[in-house]
Amino acid sequence: MSQNRVAITGMGIMSSIGNSVEENLHALLNNKKGIAPIVNIETRHKNEIKVGEVLQTNAELSKILNLPEEHNYSRTALLGCIAAKQAVKQANIRDIEAFKTGLISSTSVGGMDLTEKHFQNYNAESRRLINSHHAVDSTEKIAELLGITDFTSTISTACSSAANAIMLGARLIKSGQLDRVIVGGTDGLAKFTINGFKTLMILSDTDCTPFDANRKGLNLGEAAAYLVLESDTVVKQENKTVLGYLAGYGNANDAFHQTASSENGEGAFLAMSKALKIAELNPIDINYINAHGTATPNNDLSEGKAIKRIYGDSVPDFSSTKAFTGHTLAAAGAIEAVYSILALQNDVMFPNLNFKTAIPELSMVPITEVTKKPLNYVLSNSFGFGGNCSTLIFSKGL
Amino acid sequence: MKPCYINSAVSISAQDTLNDSIFLEHILSFEGKLARAIHPNYKLFISPIASRRMATGVKMGVAAAKKALELAKLETPDAIITGTGIGCIEDSEKFLNAILDNDEQYLTPTSFIQSTHNTVGAQIALTLKCKGYNVTYVQGAASFESAILDAQLMLHENEANTILVGGTDELGKFLINDIILAEEAEEHPILTPFGEGAHFFTLSSLKQNNSFCVLKGLKIFNKATTETIQTKVEAFLKENHLIPEDIDAIILGKNGDAFDILYQSLQDSIFKYTPQLHYKHLCGEFFTASAFGFWAATIIIKQQYIPDVLKLNSIDKSGYKNVLLYNQLKGQQHSFTLLSSC
């Protein structure tokens, strides 16, 4: 691979623990979780589930974007637009097309929140909303908002989507195809996903407990996060502040089952190994792992085994932040990328909330309190349905 | 970018493109608004147990992928990269109807599990036990091109030697009717039927005995107008060290709607004396319909022959070395693809 470094110069985030990077950091440092009973969606499961919901209604989010009353923005698009705008603002980009700039977004259900409202009764309103169903729709709206007319793409690999968007962005910068790329993911909560995960019987009725022996399943969440990736040339020319670097990335397929992870975490093991190789690092160089850790019985055991295949009994400090935000599906890889950069910037590791007892097969104990430590490299995992496993490695900015 | 060699090309579409041994000779016409795919005997590709659970798109995708590997004599590719615009709409609709009909009760997970956009890529990986790089692109009408672009980048950067790339879209049963109603309400609606299909190709960084075509260049962009499109295509050709006169055929994604003026502006100017081709009247319009155009381009280069049914003008060339594709949907998700003989 060509040897261009990939700098991160801007970040934006909307999640259940905050509407900005600062709010998210504050919540992470003060154990303020965003898991609560569902408010914005009317579902008959409301008393059986807890979710990580962005509290603003669609109308409130639309106001932030100054949208006209009759628009066709799905919740996925609303969250995505706001987060992407923040990222571009932090990167202090004045003329977005002054360099070869692209946008790579990701989503799992796209505008399903709107589709499920008009699906069985076509009328004048559905005509206005119909195109919002497609996964590409939120990307188009973000591109429009940011003024990106050139390379635009969207990825959907279930819960590893945003990690793959970040990875493609990095590869396009490294190869010199792009100078700058806004990457990330967005997913609004929808009845569709709530019921889907419900039928799989992997939703917890309490706050989720990643890596705990008695974990009962995950809390769903909604979020959007975007990062601005820039080449060395742009950083130098524009005298940019670098928040961190993307040092490595790996993608592999578990090739085991449509939804379940293999017992030995093969896909996860391969993704982490590839990322370490690209970053030219030894496993021991990683100071902190932001695990996928969804708190489903299957994921945490499989991921834990994969980590142990790399580290044996010397597993680095690790935690899952899913107990703060819930599992935000396609956006998860991007919000955890933001958290990984925040960890590096502040030399701090975020707690794995609600942990009590180690999984007997693993004996792995995560970080359970806010812990200061000098950090040089943070590894972040994202795995999804379809065996899609991705790993990103971030390093400190200068 | 280094050239990417194409070693097999497979089409499952509303024409009998999988079985027809002669290139687009027996043309099927459509009644109504839908152009449903001609399905192969899936037993030849997928076990009956696995096949029962698969929706149309997944079956088409897995079958086309397996056929592409078989033709290229490739057992396991280093990477599997797919594109789909609408995703697994059949299973999404099934699950959505179950939610709405039964007020979120009595649901089973099967259709949800297979509703994610990456199901085709995942099922191919599972069938082949392929643990390599695996990504699914969902960029509307540039979904297939996004997959190709990723493959091109991987081969260029030596991240893989052989890659399976494809695009799949299925019509589904419900949302498509609303899409058609919404489209008919437009002033200049899409005039071709709506279609579906699966198109898979194997690519390699090195020329093989069975290589018959080269992917030279690809560009995806989000916006263009009749004022800018000509400059953009010239710049793209220049990057690939070509001028418009070097193009032996241009394949356009015309569908009859208002945005056909983008194609027309090229037909009337720099490609006025170039053989001009179209294909969506044969396969229908769908997000990865451009993969049908890509497939046709590879066969034109391989056979050095253009079936009349593809022709928009009567200009012929003595040989077809460089073929350019241009596609867009509603003035967005534009792509240029350049294929050449090798």
The average pLDDT across B240-245 equals 97
Q: Which of residues 44-83 of B touch A (CB under 8 A)?
A: 80
Instruction: Please name the residues in contact with B81: beta carbons below 8 A apart, sequence gap of 6 or more.
Output: B121, B133, B134, B135, B136, B137, B147, B148, B150, B151, B154, B163, B164, B165, B166
What residues of chain A, 74 to 103, have a C-beta less than 8 Å from chain B? 103
Window 108-147 of A, Cβ < 8 Å to B: 108, 110, 112, 115-116, 118-120, 122, 126-127, 130-131, 133-136, 139-140, 143
A208 given a catalytic annotation: no
pLDDT band at B21 (very low <50, low <70, confident <90, very high): confident
Give yes or no for A48 touching B (CB within 8 A).
no
Question: Within this chain, do residues B241 and B164 fall inside the same structural domain, yes or no?
Answer: no
In terms of domains, do B246 and B194 share one?
no
**pLDDT at residue A390 tops 90:** yes
How large a percentage of chain A has pLDDT more than 70? 99
B157 shares a domain with B31: yes
Label residue A62 exposed, middle or buried (CB < 10 Å: 0-12, 13-18, 19+).
middle
What CA–CA distances, in Å, run from B129 to A29, B6, B56, B79, B122?
A: 42, 23, 22, 12, 10
Residue B30 lies in a domain: yes
Q: How many helices (H) and strands (E) does chain B have?
A: 11, 12
Assess whether A327 carries a catalytic annotation: yes
Confidence of residue A134 (pLDDT cuts 50, 70, 90): very high
Q: Where are the alpha helices (DSSP H) in chain A?
A: 21-29, 58-64, 75-90, 112-118, 124-129, 136-146, 161-174, 191-199, 232-238, 266-278, 297-311, 322-325, 332-346
Block residue for tokens 């594709």: B325
Residue ending a domain, choose from B148, B178, B204: B204
Contact B323, B339 (CB under 8 A): yes
pLDDT of A1 reads 44
Closest CB to B109: pick one of A130, A152, A200. Answer: A200
pLDDT at B115: 96
pTM (predicted TM-score):
0.98
Q: Name the amino acid, one letter, at A201.
A: M
Same domain flag for B192 and B278: no
Same domain flag for B172 and B228: no
Percentage, residues of chain A above pLDDT 90 = 95
Q: Is the minimum CB–CB distance between B140 and chain A shorter than 8 Å?
A: yes
Q: Which residue of chain B comes nearest to A169, CA vs CA? A: B150
A71 belongs to the catalytic site: no
B253 within some domain = yes
Those of residues 277-316 in B touching chain A at CB distance below 8 A are: 287
| Pair B39, B11: CB distance under 8 Å | no
A43: closest CA of chain B, how far (Å) = 8
Asked if A85 and A225 count as a contact pair (C-beta separation under 8 A), the reply is no
The model's confidence at residue B184, banded by pLDDT at 50, 70 and 90, is very high
Cβ within 8 Å, pair A116-B100: yes
Could you give the CA distance from residue A232 to residue A238 in angstroms, rounded to a whole number? 10
Q: Would A6-238 and A248-396 be classified into the same CATH topology?
A: yes
pLDDT the model gives residue A127: 86
Is the same domain home to B52 and B176? yes
Domain count, chain B: 2
Burial of residue A159, with CB atoms counted within 10 A of its CB: 0-12 exposed, 13-18 middle, 19 or more buried: buried
Question: Average pLDDT over chain B, rounded to whole?
Answer: 97
CATH number of residue B105's parent domain:
3.40.47.10
Judged against a pLDDT cut of 60, whether residue A2 lies above it is answered with no
- One domain, residues B19 and B155: yes
Whether residue B143 sits in one domain with residue B238: no
CATH class of A6-238: alpha beta
Q: Are residues B237 and B181 in the same domain?
A: no
In the numeric block, the tokens 């806010």 are attached to: A370
* Domain coverage including residue B196: 4-204
How many Å apart are CA A61 and CA A76, to the nearest integer?
A: 11
Query: Over the stretch A59-79, which tens digit does the pLDDT of each residue have?
Result: 999 999 999 999 999 999 999
pLDDT at B2 (0 to 100): 87
Q: Contact, B18 vs B38, CB < 8 A? A: yes
User: Which are the contacts of B200, defined by CB distance < 8 A and separation ≥ 6?
Assistant: B8, B9, B10, B61, B64, B65, B67, B68, B164, B165, B166
Closest residue in A to B117 (Cα) is A156
Report chain B residues whose CB lies below 8 A from the CB of A190: none
- pLDDT, residue A3, reads 61
Q: ipTM score here?
A: 0.98
Question: Among residues B152, B169, B204, which one ends one of the domains?
Answer: B204
| B10: Cβ contacts below 8 Å, ≥ 6 apart | B18, B64, B65, B67, B68, B71, B199, B200, B201, B295
- The verdict on residue B210 lying in a domain is no
B12 neighbors B42 (Cβ within 8 angstroms):
no
Rounded mean pLDDT of chain A?
96
pLDDT tens, residue by residue, A293-310? 999 999 999 999 999 999
pLDDT tens digits, one per residue of B278-335: 999 999 999 999 999 999 999 999 999 999 999 999 999 999 999 999 999 999 999 9
Residue B112 has pLDDT above 60, yes or no: yes
Domain ranges, ordered by start, for chain A? 6-238, 248-396
**Residue B181 and residue B229 in one domain:** no
Query: Which neighbouring-strand residues pair with A248?
Result: A393
Q: Are residue B246 and residue B148 in the same domain, yes or no?
A: no
In terms of CA atoms, which chain A residue is nearest residue B130? A255
User: Pick from B178, B204, B230: which residue ends a domain?
Assistant: B204
Q: Is B11 among the domain residues?
A: yes
Q: Report the CATH superfamily, name and number, of domain A248-396.
A: Thiolase/Chalcone synthase (3.40.47.10)
Residues B196 and B248 in one domain: no
CB B81 within 8 A of CB B163: yes
